[in-house]
């Protein structure tokens, strides 16, 4: 009798090489046909159905999640002001304003009802990306200050998170900040990494380095946290270069990397369904112009294999599984008896989840019939080889493997 290990995945599986790709959902043009100066993209889910906000100069364009244009708002009296990012929190809109190459910026705070105010904690303030904490604190990445500035609900300033440098908890030229997993994630562009902090400012760690391999980034600029907790980082290697996006687990484990058909990327956002949005220069049938790409990141499937059938005890079989790489392998493992070339009888099933590059012993509860067949095979001394073939992903994978049954 030949024992066969069958696998079917019920969640996506990631791989470190090839690194992954993307699936386009739709793309749309700048309604002004290249108005110029797009500086950010924010997905606001507080509005019914959601909306995409894009600041350019002192104006703000608003689209729905499928690219239908809604309106454009002139938000400032001075047409030469340049907004770096926009954030909607409750009934208040926040605009970070900094001229490129300057460090005399501020955050403009525009409530639905009430007086417009400004936040400028230091004279040398260069605000970029922003995030609102659950307790009402506004966190702002300060590109010139090499830290994250904090505006409290009562209008007071502090604390400042991080400092300039390359050591733990230090950063150089932070460009964006995002919340998720009870953590704050900061794009540390000068160190080519992402820094993670607790919500109280305690440093938890960082990941990333300069390069194009798994876990590396070129000029990271934007970060967002998806509903499942994974962290996405948008990188722009240089003027006229295609952008790339990296997906990580909440603690920095590499999941996937993709090159996007976007030049000079200007911002990244995610909606409540996990769909991603990136702004920049895109190619359309009639021309190349500013636009938005709506997409998902695809992960290259990895393979899980059985290292061996460890043992059979009573009505339980123990399989040692190995995940070949990526973030993890997960799904359902079935132990079956194969008689001849076609007939396969399922003996038992068990769900599994194995971290990338790791091994794990999984207990498969045998059916009554399965237990009897295995016991019969052992009594007869039949070779209990473990075999099979396949690919773990959307369908069933069986990979030819072999291992000795230990009595």
Residue range 42-89, pLDDT digits in tens:
999 988 889 999 988 778 999 999 999 999 988 765 656 678 899 999
CATH topology of domain 2-13+301-397: Immunoglobulin-like (2.60.40)
Model confidence at 214: pLDDT above 90? no
Strand partners for 142: 127, 147
Pairwise CA distance, residues 382 & 376, whole Å: 9
Helix and strand numbers (H, E) in the chain are 1, 32
Question: What is the CATH code for 21-298?
Answer: 2.120.10.30
Highest mean pLDDT among 278-282, 383-387, 391-395: 278-282
Pairwise CA distance, residues 256 & 259, whole Å: 11
- Would you call 380 helix, strand, or coil by DSSP? helix
Q: CA quadruple 62, 263, 29, 24: dihedral positive or negative? A: negative
Higher-confidence residue of 394 and 127: namely 127
Instruction: CATH 2.120.10.30 in the chain: give the residue spans.
Output: 21-298
Short-list 299, 321, 300, CA closest to 310: 321
pLDDT-derived band at 402 (thresholds 50, 70, 90) equals very low
pLDDT at 112: 83
Contacts of 381 (CB under 8 A, 6+ apart): none
Global pTM exceeds 0.75: no
Model confidence at 8: pLDDT above 60? no
Instruction: CATH 2.60.40 in the chain: give the residue spans.
Output: 2-13+301-397
What's the Rg (C-alpha) of the chain?
A: 26
pLDDT at 35: 54
Pairwise CA distance, residues 53 & 80, whole Å: 19
Task: Report the pLDDT averaged over residues 21-49.
Answer: 86
- CA distances in angstroms from 109 to 18, 78, 131, 254, 388, listed in the order given: 44, 16, 13, 36, 62
Polymer length in residues for the chain = 407
pLDDT at 133: 94
Render 90-140 in DSSP notation, one character per residue. Answer: TTEEEEEE--TT--B-EEEEEESSS--EEE-SSSSB-EEEEEE-TTS-EEE
Pairwise CA distance, residues 163 & 142, whole Å: 10
242-262 tens-digit pLDDT = 999 999 999 998 888 999 999
Mean pLDDT score across all residues of the chain: 81
Q: How far, rounded to the nearest angstrom, does the alpha carbon of residue 224 sit from its chain's CA centroid? A: 7
């Amino acid at each position: 009798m030949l024992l066969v290990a069958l696998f079917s995945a019920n969640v996506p599986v990631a791989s470190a090489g090839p690194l992954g790709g993307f699936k386009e959902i739709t793309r749309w043009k700048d309604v002004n046909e290249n108005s110029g100066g797009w500086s950010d993209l924010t997905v606001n889910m507080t509005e019914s159905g959601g909306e995409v906000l894009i600041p350019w100069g002192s104006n703000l364009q608003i689209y729905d999640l499928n690219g239908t244009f809604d309106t454009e708002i002139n938000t400032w009296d001075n047409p030469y002001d340049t907004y770096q990012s926009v954030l909607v929190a409750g009934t208040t809109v926040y605009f970070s304003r900094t001229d490129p190459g300057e460090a005399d910026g501020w955050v403009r705070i525009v409530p639905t009802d009430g007086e417009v105010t400004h936040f400028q904690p230091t004279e040398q303030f260069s605000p970029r990306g922003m995030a609102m904490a659950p307790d009402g604190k506004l966190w702002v990445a300060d590109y010139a200050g090499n830290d994250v500035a904090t505006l409290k609900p009562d209008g007071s300033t502090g604390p400042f998170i991080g400092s300039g440098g390359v050591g733990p908890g230090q950063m150089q030229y932070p460009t964006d900040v995002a919340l998720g997993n009870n953590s704050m994630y900061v794009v540390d562009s000068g160190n080519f990494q992402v820094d993670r902090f607790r919500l109280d400012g305690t440093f938890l760690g960082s990941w990333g380095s300069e390069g194009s391999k798994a876990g590396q980034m070129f000029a990271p600029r934007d970060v967002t946290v998806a509903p499942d907790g994974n962290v996405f980082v948008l990188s722009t290697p240089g003027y006229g270069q295609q952008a790339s996006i990296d997906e990580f687990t909440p603690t920095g484990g590499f999941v996937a990397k993709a090159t996007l058909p976007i030049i000079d990327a200007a911002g990244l956002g995610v909606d409540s369904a996990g769909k991603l949005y990136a702004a920049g220069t895109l190619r359309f049938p009639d021309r190349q112009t500013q636009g938005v790409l709506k997409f998902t990141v695809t992960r290259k499937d990895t393979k899980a294999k059985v290292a061996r059938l460890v043992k059979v005890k009573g009505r339980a079989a123990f399989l040692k599984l190995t995940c070949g790489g990526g973030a993890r392998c997960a799904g359902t493992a079935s132990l079956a008896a194969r008689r001849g070339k076609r007939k396969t009888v399922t003996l038992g099933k068990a769900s599994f989840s194995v971290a990338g590059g790791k091994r794990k012993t999984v207990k498969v509860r045998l059916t009554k019939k399965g237990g009897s067949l295995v016991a019969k095979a052992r009594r007869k001394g039949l070779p209990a080889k473990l075999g099979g073939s396949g690919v773990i992903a959307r369908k069933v994978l069986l990979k030819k493997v072999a291992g000795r049954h230990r009595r």
